[in-house]
Structure 1
Amino acid sequence: MKWKQQKSNIAIGILFLIAFVVVLRNPAVFFPDSQGYLEMHIIRTPGYPLFLQFAQSIFGDYFETATVTIQILFGCFSIYYFIYKLRSNQVLNDFFSVCLAFVLLLPFITGLKIANNMLSESLSYSLYLIIVAKFIAFFLTKNVKELYMTLPILAVLLITRYQFIFFIPLGLGLIFWVSYVQKSFKKYALISVLFVALPLITSLADKTYHKIIHGHFVSTPWTGMSVITPILFVADAEDATVLETAKEKEFFNNVYQDLAEKQMNSNHLQVPSNDTPTMYYIKNYANIQMGPIFKNGEALLDKTLTKTEKFIALDQFISKVSKPLLFDNFSKWRRLYTGNAIFGFGGFKYALLYFLIALCSCIALLKRDQAIYKIIGLSSLLVIGNVLIVAIGMHAVVRFTFYSDWVLFFTIFVLLNALNKKRYES
């Protein structure tokens, strides 16, 4: 048995070495968003900018190579840790562990090539895998220490990418289930409180960071822009009547006029017969947001404000405008949200599959407290939680949804492992 595990470790090590070589053969890649991280813009959450500042201060002229190296090494560590937790809890055998390692490495060497990008995805993916490993370990062993150790890691992940806020209700759900099974709610009272308090703690950390770096005790000011973009995409010309002030009405009318002229509003689209308004929105999300919405919002701000102050004022203004517009266009927004989410799942069939897996696993778990139902159910909820959060404001493209692309493979590996184990025991 030990020899088999040694062989699987060697195979995983070879995969890591190949991935390391492939990543280092490619240069660091900079995107429009990269500048915001490098220059610590106020619209960027603190996690990744602080990491880049650390890398620059330590490695100087070799900063790019060092950053890529750290990102792939941390990625390999997180994958090995994930697999170690699965094997120690007898979720996967040695063969399927190697198969899963290969699948988990794909974002580093194909497609997005996250380790080479000066974006937060690489660190987020690695932190994500460690947290999932901890959640699985707690769910199977009921060892509450796993969750206590998860809290600081999850805090770092939330200040790097806030889309992973869905880990909070998911963690509370696991705690409730284990408490229910053990009939001991008091035992998990403290960890429950800490999970509830974690968003407040990370929000305080976020505001403190901006106070130190930018001089303003505020949350990262970009949420309003993400929320209002789909709302204005589906809005009608008459919606200005639901707004209160002349400034709000002027903003809406200017944005709506520009969107209509550029045929970027759902009421004025001219899409091909093989396309849909939802797909147009997904493809043109950035143009809609940074074009008519951002430019018209910025034009109404006080000209004496600094760039940082403009971002803060714009976020506050747009957040206030978003609420009445959302209520007035909720039905159309909901249809767009549903289509955006389905795209994030990879299509209606995959969306249905994930929800069915989650539902069937939960029903099976109510009848039998078995590890396989816990693992498959939890994995499907990871996909569902991430997509449903992302689709609220962002376009659910692969950059934001790839984190759980391994789940279907993982589900197959777990099922095959269980069948193989059952056959071996019989």
Structure 2
Amino acid sequence: MSDSRKKRMILYSVLFAVSAVFYLFWYWHDGIVITPDAQSYIDMISARDPGYSFFLWICRVFAGWEGYQQLAVILQCLLAAAAASAITVGLSRRFNLHWLGTIGVLVIQYGITLLNRFVAQRRYSYYNSIETEAITYSIWVFFFLNLLGIIYDHKKKNVIMAFVWAIILMSTRKQMIVAFGLLFLCLAASWRKDKKWYVAVFSAGVIVILGFAGTRLLDCTYNYGVRGVFAPHTGDSSFILGTEIYVADKDMVSYISDKENQKLFLEIMNRADALEYNAGYAGKGWHNIEEHYSSSYDRIKFDIVNVVIREEQISQGMNDQERELDANRIMNEMMKELLVPCIPGMFKIFCSNIVHGFVTTVLKVHTVLNWVALFLYIAYTGMIIYLFKMQSGRERGQSSACMAIVVLTAIAVNVVGTSAAIYPQMRYMLYNTGLFYQAAWIMLIEIYRKGRK
């Protein structure tokens, strides 16, 4: 083992120990946080992606019902420590950071947790909670490091690992389909240097298709093991249906062909209108629209759509398994038939989501901070342009500006992808928050070095 590798291993070990203490402290201090979504993963319902439910099941196998949540949270904290150490050591090595630069990367990584604990409305660390983000935030870091390997090093092992991490991410949370979008772009950009552009795009597309197939296979295999049915999880239609109900009006019942579904739709619309969960009750301006939509979306899905369908199913005497399959059928049929008439209203929501998502990724939405966020993006882009102008072709290939472009692309893909399906609340946007500030920090260091030469 070379001396440089030994030093990296020692640094990683020290950082892992420090990070483990940091993340486990919040578990010791705050205990286990049971989120509103937790029970659905604990119960392994078919509407949930399999990854996190399977993780909790493994913890139950080893620790039993009495201790599995404690084991899960400890493992989540250790995974977060591994991710913090990996991103710090990885970026320090790649960009030859001195001690202050290395500490800055680590502090930014810790800072996201501190903001969630002391500033955000949640007031807790995600890693001591029972929710998907407790593991996907960390896995995203490993995924991102392999994307950097694809862009900078062009190594096959990074392609393989990024592919594996993307499958795990999407199998844990459907929103992480954005990982495959980002993988496609990075592969196409990397392979473009050695192949014709259409060959690079085609090859990247094949990798992504294989990834989707692998995710679907895992999903079906999991459901076969749990429910004896080789089929994907249910409930994906509800994401779009929730937005459709928000922007729809009662006259759209004419687009629904099934008489029973028509009755359900009208009851859903009546209840949503009574509680002012429709787009007509939103104020003017993107912020008011986004605020009203985000506060109504989950209530429409869980308190109205699911409840109305369940009440009808109970009246028909359906058992639990029949209810899940029937609810999935109803929501899928409604979603498809309402899609076209709802497109204009959904596009307006989508545009508001986009603005909200970009702001939320770097700051909290606020009248003043919105402009600060715009300034940050302009300054960030300005640093990228400046570094590229100051560097030769060979230097550009190893510049921190390349990482900054990958981060900016990741933000755009995540914001657009999430905005199209649901809404960009903070916990959906935090995947790239630390990476944004880490990239900016490293670019500042590189600019400082250039100025001293």
Structure 2 counterpart of 1:96: 101
**Residue 297 (1) aligns with residue 309 (2):** yes
For residue 51 of structure 1, what is the amino acid of its counterpart?
F
- Identity, in percent, stands at 15
Structure 2 counterpart of 1:417: 445
**Residue 65 (1) aligns with residue 70 (2):** yes
Counterparts of residues 14-53 of structure 1 (less than 5 Å): 14-53=18-57
SS state at 1:314 partner? helix
Which of the numbers 78, 84, 94 marks the counterpart of 1:79?
Answer: 84
**Residue 170 (1) aligns with residue 197 (2):** no
Q: What are the superposed Cα offsets for residues 371-416 of structure 1, whole Å, 9 maximum, x if unpaired?
A: 3332111101212222222222323212222212213312321211
The answer to whether the 8 A contact 1:147-1:191 is kept is no
Which of the numbers 265, 281, 295 marks the counterpart of 1:283?
Answer: 295
Structure 2 counterpart of 1:126: 138
Task: Provide the C-alpha distance between the structure 2 equivalents of 1:288 and 1:420, rounded to a whole number of angstroms.
Answer: 51
* CA spacing shift, 1:210–1:360, aligned 2, 3 Å: farther
Structure 2 counterpart of 1:398: 426
Please say which of residues 318-327 and 232-241 is displaced more in the overlay.
318-327
Which of the numbers 218, 224, 242 marks the counterpart of 1:211?
Answer: 224
* Structure 1: tracts of 5 or more residues without a match: none
Q: What are the superposed Cα offsets for residues 299-334 of structure 1, whole Å, 9 maximum, x if unpaired?
A: 344734322332222122212211232211211111
Shift of 1:174: 1.6
Counterparts of residues 2-13 of structure 1 (less than 5 Å): 13=17
Structure 1 counterpart of 2:120: none
**TM-score, scaled to structure 2:** 0.83
Task: Provide the C-alpha distance between the structure 2 equivalents of 1:423 and 1:10, rounded to a whole number of angstroms.
Answer: 32
For residue 340 of structure 2, what is the amino acid of its counterpart?
F
Task: Provide the C-alpha distance between the structure 2 equivalents of 1:262 and 1:213, rounded to a whole number of angstroms.
Answer: 37
* Structure 2: tracts of 5 or more residues without a match: 118-122
SS state at 1:286 partner? helix
Which of the numbers 146, 149, 154 marks the counterpart of 2:158?
Answer: 146
For residue 406 of structure 1, what is the amino acid of its counterpart?
G
**Residue 306 (1) aligns with residue 324 (2):** no
Which of the numbers 421, 425, 435 marks the counterpart of 1:407?
Answer: 435
Which of the numbers 389, 394, 413 marks the counterpart of 1:385?
Answer: 413
Task: Provide the C-alpha distance between the structure 2 equivalents of 1:193 and 1:363, rounded to a whole number of angstroms.
Answer: 35
Shift of 1:132: 0.3
Which of the numbers 323, 326, 339 marks the counterpart of 2:336?
Answer: 323
Task: Provide the C-alpha distance between the structure 2 equivalents of 1:196 and 1:358, rounded to a whole number of angstroms.
Answer: 32
SS state at 2:226 partner? helix
RMSD: 3.3
Shift of 1:365: 7.0
Task: Provide the C-alpha distance between the structure 2 equivalents of 1:98 and 1:423, rounded to a whole number of angstroms.
Answer: 22
Q: What are the superposed Cα offsets for residues 99-145 of structure 1, whole Å, 9 maximum, x if unpaired?
A: 22222234445244111101111111111000001001210111122
The answer to whether the 8 A contact 1:93-1:417 is kept is no
SS state at 1:405 partner? helix
Task: Provide the C-alpha distance between the structure 1 equivalents of 2:166 and 2:41, rounded to a whole number of angstroms.
Answer: 20
Which of the numbers 134, 140, 158 marks the counterpart of 2:170?
Answer: 158
The answer to whether the 8 A contact 1:115-1:122 is kept is yes
SS state at 1:217 partner? coil
Task: Provide the C-alpha distance between the structure 1 equivalents of 2:351 and 2:374, rounded to a whole number of angstroms.
Answer: 11
The answer to whether the 8 A contact 2:181-2:413 is kept is no
Task: Provide the C-alpha distance between the structure 1 equivalents of 2:221 and 2:14, rounded to a whole number of angstroms.
Answer: 45
Q: What are the superposed Cα offsets for residues 153-184 of structure 1, whole Å, 9 maximum, x if unpaired?
A: 22111111121111212212222222222236
Structure 2 counterpart of 1:115: 127
Task: Provide the C-alpha distance between the structure 2 equivalents of 1:310 and 1:354, rounded to a whole number of angstroms.
Answer: 47
Task: Provide the C-alpha distance between the structure 2 equivalents of 1:90 and 1:363, rounded to a whole number of angstroms.
Answer: 17
Task: Provide the C-alpha distance between the structure 2 equivalents of 1:218 and 1:257, rounded to a whole number of angstroms.
Answer: 34
The answer to whether the 8 A contact 1:342-1:351 is kept is no
Shift of 1:243: 1.8
* CA spacing shift, 1:55–1:316, aligned 2, 3 Å: same
Please say which of residues 362-371 and 71-80 is displaced more in the overlay.
362-371
Task: Provide the C-alpha distance between the structure 1 equivalents of 2:285 and 2:54, rounded to a whole number of angstroms.
Answer: 47
* CA spacing shift, 1:107–1:351, aligned 2, 3 Å: same
Shift of 1:54: 1.2
* CA spacing shift, 1:308–1:352, aligned 2, 3 Å: farther
For residue 56 of structure 1, what is the amino acid of its counterpart?
R
Shift of 1:13: 4.8
Structure 1 counterpart of 2:348: 335
* CA spacing shift, 1:48–1:99, aligned 2, 3 Å: same
The answer to whether the 8 A contact 2:19-2:85 is kept is no
* CA spacing shift, 1:190–1:12, aligned 2, 3 Å: same
Please say which of residues 235-244 and 86-95 is displaced more in the overlay.
86-95
**TM-score, scaled to structure 1:** 0.88
The answer to whether the 8 A contact 1:24-1:68 is kept is no
Structure 2 counterpart of 1:255: 268
